[in-house]
Amino acid sequence: MDFGFTEQEEAGRQEIREFLRQELGTVRTWTTPGEAISKDFTRKLAEKGWLGVGWPTEYGGLGRPYTEQLIYSEETMYYGAPSGSHILAQNMVGPTLIRVGSEEQKREYLPRILRGEITFCLGYTEPNAGSDLANCQTTAVPEGDDFIINGQKMFTSFAGQADYAWMTVRTDPNAPKKHRGISMFIVDMKTPGITVRPLETMWDYSLYEVFFENVRVPKNAVVGELNQGWHYLTVALDHERVFMGGVVAQHRRFFGELVEYAKNTYRNGKPLSKDPIVRQRLAQLATDLEIGRLFAYRVAWILGKEVIPFAEASMTKIFTSELEQRLANTAMQILGLYGPLGRGSRAPFDGYAGWEYKFSLMQAVGGGSNEIERILIAIAGLGLPRP
């Protein structure tokens, strides 16, 4: 056993850190990873080969272990790098295609993902298929050499900017079990018949609704085999949860700033950091952050063994999402009356704490709600009977 980083890993960390410092400066900006989109920045990462750190060399990756890839994503998260153009392709679509895609699809998409040229959105959720993704009602019906898609997706992140949708559709309405009749499609977002409408969130970012009206796509839009979409979905979702667990690094930075604030802000005649309650909370958060980070490495380690860490991925996602809410709450508590003040006021961190207090709700719902994740841990991880 060896929990240490190798020289190569340390060198990699230093290199990307230096790069990020130069590109983004040392002042943390407001954009959270995953939300901000910059094709330019994505291309710069691509030029360094950093989009494919953990991808196999035969597909143009660096062939490094997942644990090493995590180092790179930790650093980009920490620096709040704009990742909206690549995170989904890099962490979910790409790895899933490598596992299950056809040779043609691999040739078509993987190199362009690695060059930072194309972006994806994930179309799973629908009005009647939230947690119950198998209830997917968007249909794809064969017609000649094509499929015709009709239906609606909802809460689709990045749909307004993405080049492609990676999406579930119902291809066998008569399947004995709902999840057996679902296929995964890659759909060009510029195809006629697709309309995208923004859906504003409480924290001032848009999600989207995507409408499909007689959208004609070629047969090779089908990922892997027809009606095997459910399996691909679970693989992709698992990768998504692994990724969501990695966001701990982003919280580490805000936490560091909060600690500085507590040290330098006097209330009741002494620094906030000397207040026993504040100390307890900060110490708890420090512990949580350490646990979250270590566990993310454990999950990456398992993934590196070509094992899909179903239960562990759910654990890391739950733990991190709840940690984020505790962090936001503690920040608000420490800021007191200043907590609710918004951007462009006298608020510390330019109102980031209040924004984070709203945003922090999202991880406990998105990517599979924590309730469903806990059920997954119980069933897939512990072998408990289904309810």
Partner 1 sequence: MDLDLTEEQEMLRTMARDFLTKECPKTLVRELEEDEKGYSPELWRKMAELGWMGLVLPEEHGGMDMGFMDLIILLQEMGRNIVPGPFFCSVVLGSLPILSAGTEEQKKRFLPEIASGEMILTMALYEPNARYDASGVETKAVAQDNNFVINGTKLFVENAHIADYMICVTRTQEGASPEEGISLFLVDSKSPGIKCQVIPTMADDKLCEVVLENVSVPKENMLGELDKGWRIVTRALEHAIMAKCAEMVGGSEAVLDMTLDYVKERVQYGKPIGSFQVIQHYCANMWTNVATSRNLLYKVAWDLGEGLPVAKEIAMAKGWINQAYKFVTERAIQCHGAIGLTRDHDVGLYYRRAKAAELAFGDTDFQKELVAQQMGL
Q: Kindly list the residues in this chain that would bind partner 1 in the complex (CB under 8 A).
A: 125, 128, 130-132, 135, 154-155, 199-202, 204, 207, 267-269, 277, 325, 332-333, 336-346, 351, 354, 357-358, 361-362, 364-366, 369-371, 374, 387
User: Closest separation between CB of residue 87 and ligand FAD, Å?
Assistant: 11
User: Closest separation between CB of residue 383 and ligand FAD, Å?
Assistant: 18
Contact partner at residue 122 from ligand FAD, partner 1, none, CB < 5 to 8 Å by partner kind: ligand FAD
User: Closest separation between CB of residue 136 and ligand FAD, Å?
Assistant: 10
DSSP 69-81: HHHHHHHHHHTT-
User: Closest separation between CB of residue 152 and ligand FAD, Å?
Assistant: 11
Residue 207 or 285: the one with the smaller Cβ distance to ligand FAD is 207
CA distances from 121 to 92, 113, 177, 191 (A): 10, 13, 27, 15
User: Closest separation between CB of residue 295 and ligand FAD, Å?
Assistant: 22
Choosing from 8, 57, 131, 214, the residue that interacts with ligand FAD (CB under 6 A) is 131
Contact partner at residue 161 from ligand FAD, partner 1, none, CB < 5 to 8 Å by partner kind: none
Distance CA(103)–CA(337), nearest Å, equals 58
Distance CA(296)–CA(290), nearest Å, equals 10
Distance CA(365)–CA(372), nearest Å, equals 9
User: Given phi > 0 = left and psi -120 to 50 = alpha, else beta, which region is 78?
Assistant: alpha
Q: β-strands 164-170, 120-123: how paired?
A: parallel
User: Closest separation between CB of residue 366 and ligand FAD, Å?
Assistant: 3
- Near ligand FAD by CB under 6 A, which window of 41-49, 140-148, 283-291, 358-366? 358-366
User: Closest separation between CB of residue 259 and ligand FAD, Å?
Assistant: 28
DSSP 242-289: HHHHTTHHHHHHHHHHHHHHHHH-EETTEEGGGSHHHHHHHHHHHHHH
Contact partner at residue 193 from partner 1, ligand FAD, none, CB < 5 to 8 Å by partner kind: none
Distance CA(281)–CA(327), nearest Å, equals 9
Crossing angle of helices 7-24 and 66-78, rounded to 10°: 30
Distance CA(181)–CA(177), nearest Å, equals 7
* Interacting residues of 268 by C-beta distance below 8 A, sequence separation 6+: 275
Q: Which residues pair with 165 in a beta bridge?
A: 121, 187
Contact partner at residue 305 from ligand FAD, partner 1, none, CB < 5 to 8 Å by partner kind: none
Distance CA(87)–CA(92), nearest Å, equals 8
Residue 111 or 130: the one with the smaller Cβ distance to partner 1 is 130
The phi and psi torsions of 147 (rounded to 5 degrees) equal -120, 145
Residue 291 or 341: the one with the smaller Cβ distance to partner 1 is 341
Residue 111 or 366: the one with the smaller Cβ distance to ligand FAD is 366
Name the catalytic one among 35, 68, 74, 240. 240
**Per CB under 6 A, does 156 bind ligand FAD?**
yes
- Near ligand FAD by CB under 6 A, which window of 25-33, 118-126, 265-273, 310-318? 118-126
Exposed, middle or buried by CB within 10 Å (0-12, 13-18, 19+), for 116?
buried
Contact partner at residue 124 from ligand FAD, partner 1, none, CB < 5 to 8 Å by partner kind: ligand FAD
**Per CB under 6 A, does 130 bind ligand FAD?**
yes
Active site residue 306: no
Give the position of tokens 């009602």. 137
**Per CB under 6 A, does 330 bind ligand FAD?**
no
**Binding region for ligand FAD (CB under 6 A):** 121-125, 130-131, 155-157, 207, 362, 365-369, 371-372
So which residues are the catalytic ones?
240
